[in-house]
Amino acid sequence: MAVVRLPAAWAPWAAGQREIPVDAPTIGAALRALTEQHPHLHRRVFTEQGRIGSYVNVYLGDTDLRSLEGGLATPLDEGDTLMIVPALAGG
For residue 91, tell me if it sits in a domain: no
Integer Cα distance of 32 and 62 in angstroms: 21
Mean pLDDT of the chain: 95
Looking at the DSSP bridge assignments, the partners of residue 22 are 2
Domain-embedded: residue 44: yes
pLDDT band for 37, please (50, 70, 90 cuts). very high
Cα distance between residue 91 and residue 79, in whole Å: 38
CA dihedral 5, 7, 11, 14 (to 10 degrees): -40
Domain that holds residue 57: 2-68+75-86
Mean pLDDT, residues 25-51? 96
Tell whether the model's pLDDT for residue 80 goes beyond 80: yes
Flag whether 80 is in a domain: yes
Residue 8: is it exposed, middle or buried by C-beta count within 10 angstroms (0-12/13-18/19+)? exposed
The three-state secondary structure class of 5 is strand
Structural domains counted in the chain: 1
Is the alpha carbon torsion for 45, 48, 53, 55 positive or negative? negative
pLDDT number for residue 91? 60
CATH code, 14:
3.10.20.30
Residue 89 has pLDDT above 80, yes or no: no
pLDDT bucket at 88, cuts 50 / 70 / 90: confident
pLDDT of residue 6: 97
